[in-house]
Structures are given as C-alpha cells and as structure tokens.
Structure 1
Amino acid sequence: METTALKLYSFDYRNVKTYLAASLFVIGNIALPQLCHLLQQGGMVWLPIYFFTLIAAYKYGWKVGLLTAVLSPLVNFLLFAMPSAEVLPAILIKSVLLAVAAGFAAGYFKRISIPILIVVVLFYQIIGTLGEWLLTGSFYLAVQDFRMGIPGMLLQIIGGYLFVKHLIRN
C-alpha cells in the first residue's frame, strides 16, 4: 500500500490563515451536502458533512479541523435546517471526533495512506456511534451510518486520500 509523505500545517487560533482555511472547508461542507441531498437519502448514504472536515484536519491540523467540524453542521442547520435538530448533536460529536482523529493521525504519522484513513474513519464512526446510541437510546438509529453510509465512508477514505495527496500538494 502506498504511503505518501506530505507537507502538513498546524495553524494556531491566533493565525488568520486558520480562519481562512476553515472558512473554505466549511463552504465545501455546505456545498457537498447540498449536492448529495439532490439524491434520495443522499446525506445518509454519502455522509457529505464529514468530507472536508477530514481534509481540513489532516492537512491543516486539528484546530482548522475542529473549526470546520463545529461550524459546518451548525451553518448547514441555520441555513437549510439540515441536519435536523434531532440528529445535530450526534453529527457534531462525530465531526469533532473526526477532526481530532485526523489531526492526531496526520501529526503522528506525518504522511497519508489508505490504512491510516481507514483507522481514522473507523475510529470516529465507532466511538461516534456509541455516543449517538447514548444520545438517542436507539441502537438501530445509532448504527445507521454502518447500515447505509458505507459508500460515504469509502468516499472519505479514498476521496480524502486522493484529495490530500493530489490536490493539496503544498
């Protein structure tokens, strides 16, 4: 399996680049879900709200990732009432877990690979599913991403790898 070393950043909250980068990724996390929601159950299948959070945290550090993770669902909710208020807390939990895991993995390994991204995605999904189960009290609802969202997880892993490796070179 190919591993790619890449230039990673870790912007500080006092750096304006942190907010500029996070803003661009939030815009991506607004546009992609809107496209996916054109398909029936597109959000539940493709899990688009997480895609740019993964990229933000992996390439630019957990701080950019965390801003993206929190602002993306909140802005989407305020603008489009999606995600719904009922699932917003679970999505926020998973988004934050993803940002922390991706930022940690990037900082620890200092490279990107498919196996690393598999572990990152499984980590946030498994721990997030447990959190969602505690929030909702429904195991069936909590495992929805595993019942329907496998294409979205694969998009995060493969698309995230390709995006970071090929499109964000510097």
Structure 2
Amino acid sequence: MQTTTAKLYSLEYNNARTYGFSALFIAGNILLPQLCHTIHLGGPMLLPIYFFTLIGAYKYGWRVGLLTAVLSPFINSMLFGMPLPEVLPAILSKSILLAAAAGYAAYRFGKVSLLILTGVVLSYQVAGSLVEWAIAGNFFTAIQDFRIGIPGMLLQIFGGYIVLRLMTK
C-alpha cells in the first residue's frame, strides 16, 4: 500500500486562509451533493456532504474541517432542503466526528495513505452511527450508511486519497 508524505497544515482561526479554504470546501460540499442528488438515492448512497470535509480537515487541520463540517449541512439545508431538518443533527454529528478524526490522523501520522483514510472513514462512521442511534432511537436508521452508503465510503477513501495526493504535488 502506497504512502505519500504530504505537507499538511493546521491553520488557526486567526488566519484568513482558514476561512478562504473553508469557503472553498463548503462550496464543494454544496455542489457535489447537488450533482449526486441527480441520481436516485445519490445522497444516501454516495455520502457527498462529507467528501470535502475530509479533504479540508486532513490537508488544512481540524479548524478548517470543523467550519466545513458545520456550515455545509446548514447551508445545504437552507438552500435546497437537503439534508432534511430532522436528520440535520445526525449529519452534523458525523461531519464533526469526521473533521476531528481527519484532523487528528493528519496531525498524528503526517502522511496520506489508504489505510489511514480507511481508519478515518470507519471511525467517524461507527461513532456517528452510535450517535445517530442515540438521536433517532432506531438502530436500522442509524446504520443506513453501512447498508447503502458503502459506495460513498469508498469514494471518500479512494477519492480522498487521489485528491490529497494531487494536492501534495
């Protein structure tokens, strides 16, 4: 399995680049879901709202990831009605967990690999499913990403790896 040493950052909230990069990743998290929602069950299957949160948090740190994780679902919900307000707490929980996991993994390992990204995606999905189960009170609903979202998780792992590799060049 190939590993790439990458220049990873941990931008602070007092740095204007934090907000610039966050705005770019938020825009990505708005456009990609719109594209995916043109396919039947494209949102639940491809999990597009998480993609740029993963990239932003991994490359630029948990602060960029957190801004992207919180603002993307709210903006999408306000502009397009998706995610639905009743599922917003679960999506926000998973987004925040993803930003934390990706930011920590990048800080801890300082490199990009498929194994690390797999760990990031599985960790936020497992923890997020437990949070969603507590919120929804329904285990079947909580494991939806594991029932139909496997393509989205694979997109995050392999697509994230490719994008992060391209960003290191």
Give the TM-score of the pair, scaled to structure 2. 0.99
Q: Which residue of 2 aligns with 1:127?
A: 127
Q: Which residue of 1 aligns with 2:44?
A: 44
Q: How many Å apart are 1:169 and its aligned residue?
A: 2.0
CA distance in 2, matches of 1:117, 1:6: 14
CA distance in 2, matches of 1:136, 1:60: 32
Q: How many Å apart are 1:9 and its aligned residue?
A: 1.0
Q: What whole-Å deviation, never above 9, does each CA across 1:53-89 have from its counterpart, x for those lacking one?
A: 0000000000000000000001001111100011100
**Do residues 113 (structure 1) and 113 (structure 2) align?**
yes
Q: Which residue of 2 aligns with 1:57?
A: 57
Q: What whole-Å deviation, never above 9, does each CA across 1:100-122 have from its counterpart, x for those lacking one?
A: 00000000000010000000000
CA distance in 1, matches of 2:77, 2:44: 15
* Percent of residue pairs identical: 61
Taking the TM superposition and a 5 Å limit, the aligned residue runs for 1:60-139 are: 60-139=60-139
Q: CA RMSD in A?
A: 0.6
Q: Give 1:169's aligned amino acid.
A: T
Q: Which residue of 2 aligns with 1:15?
A: 15
Q: Give 1:80's aligned amino acid.
A: F
Partner SS for 1:4: strand
**Do residues 169 (structure 1) and 139 (structure 2) align?**
no
Q: Which residue of 1 aligns with 2:26?
A: 26
Taking the TM superposition and a 5 Å limit, the aligned residue runs for 1:150-169 are: 150-166=150-166, 168-169=167-168
CA distance in 2, matches of 1:133, 1:10: 32
Structure 2 gap ranges (5+): none
Structure 1 gap ranges (5+): none
Partner SS for 2:85: coil
Instruction: Number of aligned residue pairs: give it.
Output: 169
Partner SS for 1:39: coil
Q: How many Å apart are 1:133 and its aligned residue?
A: 0.3
CA distance in 2, matches of 1:169, 1:160: 12
Q: What whole-Å deviation, never above 9, does each CA across 1:35-62 have from its counterpart, x for those lacking one?
A: 0000001000000000000000000000
Taking the TM superposition and a 5 Å limit, the aligned residue runs for 1:137-148 are: 137-148=137-148
CA distance in 1, matches of 2:114, 2:15: 30
Q: Give 2:7's aligned amino acid.
A: K
